[in-house]
Amino acid sequence: MINRINLRPNFDPGLLLCLLLTLFLVLPLAQNQGLPMGAETKLHFQQLAETHGGFSDGGLTYLLAEFIQRLLGLGAFDALRALLILCFALCSGGMYLFCKRRCGRLGALIAGLVYVYSPTLMYDTPYARGAYSELLALALFPLLLWRVDDLRDKAKPASFLLVCLLQAALLHTRLTTALTLTGITLSWLLFETLIQQFNREASQMRAHSSVLAGLAMLLGILVSATVWLPTAQASATPPPKLSGSFLTLEDLLSKPPLQDAGAINGLRELPNLGLAQWGLAGLGALAALALFIGGYRTRHPNAFLGTAFFAGLALILITLMQLGAPSRLLGPSAACLAIVASMNGLWLGRLNSRYQSIAVAILVAAPIVTVIPLLYVPGWQTSLETAVEPDALFLIAVGDISALVSAASMLLALAISWRLRNWQLTPRPYWTTPALPRTSVVGILLGGAIALLSLLITFREGIAWISSPPGQALSAQVQHKVSLDGNVQLLGYDLNADVLRPGDRFVFKAYWYALKQPTDDYSSFLRLSAAGAPLVQAHNSHPGNAPWGPDGYIVDQYELRLPADLPAGDYDLVIGLIVCELLPLDKCAADESSENSAATVGSAVITTIRVESP
């Protein structure tokens, strides 16, 4: 006879500590009104305004924000701010719940902090890009992993329906991100199912439980057919760019830059995974490998197997981004690194109690302390000057076929759940996780105190950020002032190298300043040329889209890939401004093909670049 199993949720102090340590992310929202000027912020505000009239005109992101707006009586901006806080809590809490079953409470807490304090989640997605739908997708992802993992050995009606609904909710966020995360979840489920069949005794899991979890996800996909089926039929969503935005290990491994309050052209994207994230994931992977070789048996039979999958997937995603895959894979990569970092809880639990508290404090404080500069978010000035009018572009027409598929799938999910009501459960030892030992709790509290003290000491101008006065760019590596038309000046520049080889990547960042608002829309160009020789390499950018003016400078970044057959020698680096009379800015170029449609405002030789033979 099977004993009655208590599945009621209990108070979890580890989850509470994880959520409390997430509160540092509220600092930018508490210091400022409104929202920062991200790339998509106004778009989301407009969609929320359209949704305000009824719940049928927006995705889950706007429905959730609308619910918050009505429940708390907030304005649209404040509702989106509350949505950000909710997403941060779901990121850390969801990752904690997923990893707790596999690595214990301490490892789960570390994973939650590593995930939510990843620069791509705490800064790039919510602020620099203002991609709230994508942030919500990344927040729901660990919750889906948690419930799928739970359904595999607790086949109960509520668990089945919850996986189905979470999968459907995920697809009601940003569709491209949701499809990527769905593919990752299914791949993880398939990987563990196939591998565990070769070692059934150790896995303690039956294949049909995993098939049931996969079926719940499939029904969740079909339930959300009203979202993806019309999109697929109308081809409304363009495919993501697979080239043109190359990331390097230098980008992904770099430390967070100091923000400059003197820059006025908004926030720049930060393609970075975080130093602590790399370090703790690497340490967790090494610890898992050492424990596995040493014969250590985890409470969850698939703890090492899942770690191997997510570690390998992180390497694959990072490699794809270097080959030109979309940088939007940074979010899934951050999730993979966090899951691998959870393995640190295993070796910390075996550490001598004399050193355990100190080690725990260091690992808890590291993800927070290393991103303190990113808690300062400049450009907090998003506003709408005119009333928002509904736009049919954002309204999704639900066809009869998609609605029928969705309804039929929901009925099928309910029927399967009803059949599961008598499913017999075999108790597993990892269903109950040991409480945090006192030394670990002391270490967690000490780590939080270290993070708070570091914030109080370093979160100030000159340490966490700088503020350039008008007419200066203190963040420029090279201070080099050049006037191009008597009004627009180049204040300085950054470059990644002045000695290159053929095929190398050359990155140049220009700092522009205008004494007054120009009357024309400028486009800029960067040329690498030899004296008396034709143009060797060129790249055009468009600072004219930015708010030129005397209040501060704007930043313009160029990336060149030197030709593999470029002869060795010294080349002049020429920068200048042009005005396109007949072409839009995104078609304007500084070459012979646009000579008749672009007028050069001014140009100057900035420096000399040496190209050496390989």
pLDDT per position as a tens digit, 281-305:
999 999 999 998 988 887 777 888 8
Distance CA 141, CA 164 (A): 13
How confident is residue 484, by pLDDT bands cut at 50, 70 and 90? Answer: confident
**Closest listed residue to residue 367, CA positions, set 7, 21, 46:** 21
Distance CA 44, CA 126 (A): 11
148-168 average pLDDT score: 88
Q: Above 70 in pLDDT, residue 179?
A: yes
Residue 371: its pLDDT value, please? 93
Distance CA 373, CA 122 (A): 12
* Contact indicator for 527, 574 with CB cutoff of 8 Å: yes
Most confident region among 23-27, 222-226, 277-281, 496-500 by mean pLDDT: 277-281
DSSP for 488-514 reads: EEEEEEEES-SEE-TT-EEEEEEEEEE
DSSP for 400-453 reads: HHHHHHHHHHHHHHHHHHHHGGGPPPPP-GGGSPPPPPHHHHHHHHHHHHHHHH
357-377 average pLDDT score: 94
Long-range pairs, 183-187, Cβ under 8 A, ≥24: 184/141, 184/313, 184/332, 185/141, 185/144, 185/145, 185/148, 185/217, 186/214, 186/217, 187/309, 187/313
The pTM assigned to this predicted structure is: 0.84
Distance CA 209, CA 215 (A): 10
Least confident of 168-182, 356-370, 401-415, 482-496: 401-415
Looking at every residue in the chain, the average pLDDT score rounds to 79
Decide: helix, strand or coil at residue 154: coil
pLDDT per position as a tens digit, 295-337:
888 777 788 888 999 999 999 998 888 776 677 889 999 999 9
Least confident of 285-299, 372-386, 512-526, 574-588: 574-588
Beta-strand relationship, 478-483 and 505-514: unpaired
How confident is residue 232, by pLDDT bands cut at 50, 70 and 90? Answer: low
DSSP for 305-341 reads: HHHHHHHHHHHHHHHHHHTT--GGGHHHHHHHHHHHH
Tokens in use for 209? 């439980």
Q: Above 70 in pLDDT, residue 173?
A: yes
Residue 187: its pLDDT value, please? 95
DSSP for 333-399 reads: HHHHHHHHHTTHHHHHHTS-HHHHHHHHHHHHHHHHHTTGGGG---------SSPPPP-GGGPPPPP
Least confident of 36-50, 247-261, 307-321, 443-457: 36-50
- Give bridge partners of residue 465 from the DSSP assignment: 259, 461
How confident is residue 165, by pLDDT bands cut at 50, 70 and 90? Answer: very high
pLDDT per position as a tens digit, 508-525:
888 988 888 777 777 778
- Phi, psi at 265, each rounded to 5°: -100, 30
Decide: helix, strand or coil at residue 606: strand
How confident is residue 608, by pLDDT bands cut at 50, 70 and 90? Answer: confident
DSSP for 545-557 reads: GS--STT-BEEEE
User: Using alpha carbons only, how large is the chain's radius of gyration in Å?
Assistant: 27
How confident is residue 5, by pLDDT bands cut at 50, 70 and 90? Answer: very low
pLDDT per position as a tens digit, 437-446:
999 999 999 9
Which helix (H) or strand (E) element contains residue 276?
Answer: helix 275-293
**Closest listed residue to residue 492, CA positions, set 476, 508, 468, 474:** 476
Most distant pair of Cα atoms in the chain: their distance: 91
425-442 average pLDDT score: 77
Instruction: Count CA atoms within 13 Å of residue 312 on its CB side.
Output: 10
* Contact indicator for 547, 554 with CB cutoff of 8 Å: yes
User: Is pLDDT larger for residue 407 or for residue 127?
Assistant: 127
Residue 144: its pLDDT value, please? 96
pLDDT per position as a tens digit, 54-74:
343 336 676 777 677 777 777
- Give bridge partners of residue 576 from the DSSP assignment: 525, 603
DSSP 520: S
Most confident region among 120-124, 125-129, 595-599 by mean pLDDT: 120-124
Write down how long the chain is.
Answer: 614
State the SS3 of 62-128.
HHHHHHHHHHHCCCHHHHHHHHHHHHHHHHHHHHHHHHHHHHHHHHHHHHHHHHHCCHHHHHHHHHH
**Closest listed residue to residue 550, CA positions, set 480, 468, 461, 462:** 468
**Closest listed residue to residue 150, CA positions, set 136, 139, 161, 135:** 161
Q: Which amino acid is at 107?
A: G
Percentage of residues in the chain with pLDDT exceeding 90? Answer: 29
Tokens in use for 523? 């486009």
Residue reference for tokens 């969740």: 220
Q: Which domains does the chain have, with CATH numbers?
A: 13-381+401-422+431-458 (no CATH), 478-611 (2.70.50.60)
**Closest listed residue to residue 495, CA positions, set 604, 607, 373, 602:** 607
Count Cβ atoms below 10 Å from residue 63 Cβ, excluding itself.
Answer: 17
Distance CA 272, CA 303 (A): 27
Distance CA 530, CA 534 (A): 7
Helix, strand, coil shares of the chain, percent, nearest 5, are 55, 15, 35
Residue 567: its pLDDT value, please? 84
Decide: helix, strand or coil at residue 528: strand
Tokens in use for 111? 């994973």
- Give bridge partners of residue 609 from the DSSP assignment: 571
Residue 206: its pLDDT value, please? 66
Q: Above 70 in pLDDT, residue 501?
A: yes
* Contact indicator for 46, 391 with CB cutoff of 8 Å: yes
User: Is pLDDT larger for residue 8 or for residue 104?
Assistant: 104
